[in-house]
Structure 1
Amino acid sequence: MKLWLRVFLTGFALWLLTVVVTFATGNPNLIPTLVLLGSFLVPVTFVLWAFTRRHSSEVTSELLFSTFVTGGVLGVLAASLLETYLLHPNPLFFLGVGLIEEAAKLAALAFLCRRLQHKFAIDGIILGASVGFGFAAFESAGYAFTALFTQQGLSLMTLVETELLRGVLAPVGHGLWTAIVGGVLFSASGSRHFALTWRLLGTYLGVAVLHAFWDGWQSIAQVITDIARDPHLFTLLSWGGLVGVSLVGIAWLLVVRRQADREVYAPLWRIPVAR
């Protein structure tokens, strides 16, 4: 059995066991275990799966750990600071969130990978995903912990529901967006140093817009529902919009991945065949 699958199955079993014991005993000391297992399981699994597809030996397990933990924490802290002091409630709020969080993750990725001698796009996708999933894991832990507190008191059920929902959506969120930008960042670097190109800028703005639609789609769905005066539309529009944004992101990543493969195998195409 592959390592990533073994980690996922073991982690999921431990999370379920923790849920059962926490509900059975009501022991608050188990809540941190529940939050951490639920928030980190899917991100860690996807990073391990992506790691097996790296191209360069420079992409070590130490670098992967650094991008996941350090990159994730730096991204969350930078985004929190900037959003607190720069954003105010307005129609463009979610676009501001997308621009800030994607910039924070991109900066963390570039900083942590600046010393790589060779920058292959496929490795940029993997390391970008690692930063994005690290960001998602720490962010999800915060959301899960906050969900515990309700007006009726502590609610373990709300915490579990939040972790399940964010776990299901994690693969098409932060990890996906930063993987796209990471692939383009590395692809644009013809030397040891990262280069700021129009393609990179356009990609960053594009994933920020995807991020904004992802965060703000429920508000858009509510406005459309109110105009149509049909309450049944809300659920359909909410999930339909998220699926649409996810499909756009996945298709975009596949394009970046295809370009990365051409970059890796291009030297082989130039080797003359002996006759």
Structure 2
Amino acid sequence: MPGHPGAREACDMITRPDVEKSTTAATRHVWAPRWWLVFPIGLVLWVATVADTFYTNNLILLPTVVLLGSFLVPVTAVVWYLDHDPSPELSPRRIVSAFIFSGVLGALAASVLEFWLVFGPGLFGTLKVGFIEELVKGVLVVLFALGIRSYTTRDGMVLGATVGFGFAALESSGYALASLFVVQGNQLFLSLPSVVLNELVRGLLAPFGHGLWTAILGGVIFHAARNGRLRPTLAILITYVGVSLLHAAFDFFGGIVGYIVISVIGIAPLVYIWLREDRGLPFRRAAHRIQGA
């Protein structure tokens, strides 16, 4: 009843800031389980599945091996972010949606464009793959940024990394399945060791590949925003070319040494951009100086 004292007290409690904060904290806790539990539990499950598959030769377990191995590191990275006080502009719903849909949409778009534009292996083909996939992920960053009111460099890096992780997870799954089939002479064999090796290499390097490159590009895209709107700039174009070249070099050179060298080269600008960010505040310092002059 409206006039009942208990009802009035209940309404006051609902509108109290401390109650709202506790509700928000509880919701955040539900969305973000401890990340350090996600990785070891997933790793144990993946190792157990691999061992079971080797022991029983049960091909039905192969999808589990592929999916666990491909998604373990990307999902852990996303949960880590959700577990560390996420930005109010990047809600859990936006992050999870970006992770899932960017993987599917990115893989579909990149596949069609590469089918049209890439005509063979080699350096030139690898370069085109790098430019195509980074363009697709950059467009997805912009799409999933729709509705954000205040753009910060760090938010752009987080959203970019999320898009990159979603793309990497599905791409790694595809490479793992492709590596399953080994041709020797005129015979086709199924090679589980090739799948496991592919999962180990691509799964562990996920943060230093697609996640890293798209994080850099996303940070620069958000950094260029003015008056609450994204805008094209020369810095975005230069960054896009740079991460595309890193992507192409990563694919072209291959091998553990090549992967490590390219990853280290990519980490340097990532760390620089992250540390350069002014504590997560929007980059409008030049405008403030003009107003205060």
The normalised TM-score by structure 1 is 0.85
| Residue 107, structure 1, aligned to residue 124, structure 2 | no
Shift of the 63–266 alpha-carbon distance from structure 1 to 2, 3 Å rule, reads closer
Residue 87 of structure 2 is matched in structure 1 by: 56
SS at 1:150's partner residue?
strand
Q: Cα offset for 1:251?
A: 0.5
After superposition, where does 1:17-96 map in structure 2 within 5 Å?
17-53=48-84, 56-89=87-120, 91-96=123-128
After superposition, where does 1:1-275 map in structure 2 within 5 Å?
3-53=34-84, 56-89=87-120, 91-151=123-183, 152-218=188-254, 238-262=255-279, 264=281
- Partner AA of 1:258 in structure 2: L
In the aligned structure 2, how far is the partner of 1:157 from the partner of 1:82?
31
In the aligned structure 2, how far is the partner of 1:71 from the partner of 1:41?
17
In the aligned structure 1, how far is the partner of 2:100 from the partner of 2:222?
20
Deviations 1:133-187 (A, max 9, x none): 1000000011111111112511211111111111122121000000000011111
In the aligned structure 1, how far is the partner of 2:147 from the partner of 2:118?
33
Deviations 1:171-210 (A, max 9, x none): 2100000000001111111133211001111101100011
Q: Cα offset for 1:241?
A: 3.1
The normalised TM-score by structure 2 is 0.80
SS at 2:277's partner residue?
helix
In the aligned structure 1, how far is the partner of 2:242 from the partner of 2:176?
28
In the aligned structure 2, how far is the partner of 1:54 from the partner of 1:188?
24
In the aligned structure 1, how far is the partner of 2:284 from the partner of 2:261?
36
Shift of the 239–260 alpha-carbon distance from structure 1 to 2, 3 Å rule, reads same
| Structure 2 residue ranges without an equivalent (≥5) | 1-32, 289-293
Aligned residues: 249
| Comparing 54-63 and 189-198, the one that deviates more | 54-63
Q: Which runs of 4+ in 1 moved over 6 A?
A: 265-268
Answer whether contact 2:134 2:214 (CA < 8 A) is retained: yes
Q: Cα offset for 1:242?
A: 2.6
Identity of aligned residues (%): 45
Shift of the 202–217 alpha-carbon distance from structure 1 to 2, 3 Å rule, reads same
Deviations 1:103-127 (A, max 9, x none): 0001011111111111111111111
In the aligned structure 2, how far is the partner of 1:65 from the partner of 1:263?
21
